[in-house]
Chain A
Amino acid sequence: MALEKEQQQWGRLNGCLLVVMVGMIFYCSWLNNKIVTRSYRLNELRQDEKKLVEERDKLQAELATLKRPQNLARLARALGLQEPLPGHKVVLP
């Protein structure tokens, strides 16, 4: 009787261990899968970031070109602006 009880306990323990082991295997697989999926996603985002940085650089270059003193002067003249007349320029202390 006692032997049977002991065998049952061992059986339950083995069953539990098996469930834990299978669970861990599934968890590790899921985790690994997540890591790989996230890595791909991260890589995609890095590529997107690179494209955005490129676009930003190009826009900055364009902005710097448009803000050239000669360009601003040309545009100002085209808009009918003139050099400041006497009294227009006030220097604050």
Chain B
Amino acid sequence: MKRTLKRTLKRTGHEAREERRRLQLRIGLVAGVVVFSLVAVVARAYFLQVVRHDYYLACQQQQRSSNILVHCDRGEIRAADGGQLAINVKGRALYAEPRRIKDGRSLAREIAPILELEASALEQRLSGERGFVWLKRSLAPAQVKALQPWCEKEPGLAFLEESQRVYPNRELAGQVLGFTNIDCQGQEGLEVYYEKFLKGQQLYLELEHDARRQVVDSSEYPEFEHYKGKNIYLTIDRQLQAWAEAELERAVSESRGRGGVALIMNAADGAILAMAQNPRFNPNSKLKNNPSLWRNRAVVDLMEPGSTFKVFTLVAALESGLFKIDDLIDCEEGKYKVGRRTIHDTHEYGKLRLDEVLKYSSNIGCSKIVSRVGAEGFAEVLHNFGFGSRSGIDYPHEPSSRLRPWRRWRAIDLCNLAFGQGVSVTPIQLVAAYAALANGGCRVQPHLVSRIVSSAGWTVYEHPCPSAPQRACSSAVARQVDQALALVVEDDGTAPQARIPGFRVAGKTGTAQKYDFVEKSYSHSDYWASFVGYVDPPEGQSRKVVYVLVDEPRSSIYGGMVAAPAFQRLNRRLVSYLNYASKAEFAKLEMPETEEPAVKDAAAQPSEALQQTANLMPDFTGQTIRDALALVGGYRRSLKISGQGRIVAQKPAAGTLLAPGLDFVFQLSSEI
């Protein structure tokens, strides 16, 4: 029994040891597998995180984030009164990724009518393996709405937000402002001159995406306002500009002229208050206009000043000390021979005082004066007034006035110069020279921009006040010449039409023959008629030099007949606007009845638009109800309007012949 028990115990102990050994083996095996797995995981993690770190980081960034280029808005251009002259609105452009488009042909056929493009041209753009192609920029709101379903359906078609430059005052100061191209880069006028201030910065923005390419907002969104271009404030006053354009248009149309220029400049600081031109130009539709209209003739075009130049002859005479204002000049009864050439006056004058030479605009009197002053003395005076160089106005492409070196002047050249022939100046250079006279003989630099303000509100530039102005002539001479200029508007002067009752007006007429480059001689039919002068302001205010020029007038050729009335009408408005008039003077002042020039867009001019479209229903889509009402008013139909925002649908359809009694139905939506 004992033996059996011993054997059993011995076997049990052996089995227990075996069992433990097997258990240890299993544990060791599992532990080995776990350890091996852990080592494998760690090794793999090391491989991924350390060895291939850069590669997988790049992959992750590519999948999770994208960089987009953001063009921050261009700065605004504002008038002196703060009115917006050039602003930005957001628009949409349509682009395609041709390599992602399956059936370019059918897509082109479907969207070509919406884009108003040829289907074949569009198909060509959509074909191929290119990664990006513009289809149309600056889409109208109605086009965006019509294309929306296509963009959702077609992966290779999408909109891109873009900024569009808008000139809300349309033709007002169109040539002065210039315009930008489709990428909002300055191309003409102030837009190009101040490009470095106006243009907004470009930013790269990193966006984070989820697996479905939805943007997960990044908290590091920059304040785009800080990267906008700077705002420019002009010296131009919108009201004066509008009146200058209106009066100029009236002068041009009444004289059946080809065009014209009108300027108003503050003589004390050189600020340009108005710079008008005719024909006018709307920068919003630059491509529909003749490129010759883009040119700002007040700054860019050189022309002979004619008799308006005689005032500098008088200055030269008085500055030389050889003449006194009451000296008599024999005007030879209208004919005076210089070498082989004969100089004529329009009337036969005998002996005239120096100031009367200016009053009656005698060519012979001026010729005799400069002959005595001499070429060198006269040239010095002209240079002192800025002739022969640029005025320095902040506007691109200003040429220097053309004045040959005085040593090369022959006797006849000198005489011609005395009455404004053989010299070419731009209107702004002439006005700047007159401003010096009006300012007591001190020259100031004409300028269009008064200050530049950053988007944060900091003034980064301010036109400097003329601390030590350059003297063109003595103040005594300027005073004497001013008195002589006041004689011009007397009853027997050359421009009584420029007179304003109750105010002292001083100025000078100009009637310059145009040079015919084909005939190589002065034309006998084409002239520039001009008037330049100023009205004396009350004490404490500075003089404003006003210049009106009409190109090739036909009703009359004389500045006193063509330009002086426009000068007078413009000044009547100016003296009222700038509070020159006391109550008593104001009672005498009659306002001209010149209507502001007609606006050339359909919305603001329903009658013309109606005449053009006869009895066809116009396309109102994308317009505001206000614009549409302006047009619809002419049709005398009843209206049904639903929704709010802009017009997205209309009945009858555009182009439908309008039957009597048919009502208009407009569907509006703000989701354009």
A: residues with CB less than 8 A from B are 36, 39-40, 42-43, 46, 50, 53-55, 57-58, 60-62, 64-65, 67-71, 73-74, 77, 83-84, 86-87, 89-91
Contact = CB atoms under 8 A, between A and B. Distances in A.
B650 interface: no
Interface centre among A36, A46, A58 (most CB of B within 10 A): A58
A87 to B, nearest CB: 6
A91 B87 contact: no
A73 B242 CA distance: 10
A47 B89 CA distance: 16
B90 A86 contact: no
Nearest to A36: B216
Nearest to A73: B596
B295 to A, nearest CB: 22
Given A57-B87, A70-B597, A65 B168 contact: yes
A50 to B, nearest CB: 8
Contacts of A83: 591, 593
B586 A89 contact: yes
A74 B238 CA distance: 15
A57 B168 CA distance: 12
A83 B212 CA distance: 64
Contacts, number: 86
A64 B576 contact: no
B434 to A, nearest CB: 26
Interface centre among A50, A70, A74, A86 (most CB of B within 10 A): A70
B88 A57 contact: yes
Given A69-B238, A86-B589, A89-B576, A61 B216 contact: no
Contacts of A91: 579
B287 interface: no
19 contacts: A36-B210, A43-B215, A46-B221, A50-B90, A54-B89, A57-B88, A61-B84, A61-B168, A62-B168, A64-B84, A65-B170, A68-B168, A69-B239, A70-B242, A70-B246, A70-B597, A74-B596, A89-B586, A90-B583
A84 B575 CA distance: 13
Main secondary structure of the interface of A (DSSP, over half): helix
A69 B172 contact: yes
A36 B169 CA distance: 46
Contact of B87 (A64, A67, A69): A64
A86 B221 contact: no
Given A64-B169, A87-B583, A46 B90 contact: no
Given A39-B217, A61-B168, A65-B168, A54 B87 contact: no
Given A68-B172, A86-B586, A60 B84 contact: yes
Nearest 3 CB-CB pairings of A with B: A64-B168, A69-B242, A86-B587
Contacts of B587: 86-87
Contacts of A65: 168-170
A58 B141 CA distance: 11
B576 A70 contact: no
Nearest to A65: B168
Interface in B75-89: 83-84, 87-89
A74 B242 CA distance: 12
Interface string B159-174: 0000000101110100
B604 interface: yes
Interface centre among A43, A62, A65 (most CB of B within 10 A): A65
B624 interface: yes
A91 B597 CA distance: 29
A67 B216 CA distance: 42
Contacts of A57: 87-90
B595 interface: yes
Contacts of B476: none
A63 to B, nearest CB: 8
Contacts of A71: 599, 604
A73 B448 CA distance: 25
A31 B170 CA distance: 54
B575 to A, nearest CB: 11
Nearest to B238: A69
B214 interface: yes
Nearest to B89: A57
Contacts of B170: 65, 68
B188 to A, nearest CB: 20
B566 to A, nearest CB: 17
A90 B589 CA distance: 14
Contact of B89 (A42, A61, A68, A84): A61
B464 to A, nearest CB: 29
A61 B217 contact: no
Nearest to A77: B595
Given A70-B242, A74-B596, A54 B586 contact: no
A90 B587 CA distance: 12
A87 B241 CA distance: 25
Contacts of B593: 83
A72 B49 CA distance: 70
B216 to A, nearest CB: 5
Contacts of B243: 69
A58 B144 CA distance: 15
Contacts of B596: 69-70, 73-74
A54 B84 CA distance: 17
Interface centre among A69, A71, A84 (most CB of B within 10 A): A69
B50 to A, nearest CB: 26
A70 B84 contact: no
Contacts of A46: 217, 221
Contacts of A87: 583, 586-587
Interface in B316-372: none
A87 B585 CA distance: 10
A61 B91 CA distance: 13
A70 B217 contact: no
A58 B604 contact: no
A66 to B, nearest CB: 8
Interface string B202-228: 000000001000111100010000000
Contacts of A53: 90
A76 to B, nearest CB: 10
B244 to A, nearest CB: 11
Given A57-B87, A61-B87, 14 more contacts: A40-B216, A57-B90, A62-B624, A64-B168, A65-B168, A68-B168, A70-B172, A70-B597, A73-B242, A74-B595, A74-B604, A86-B589, A89-B576, A89-B586
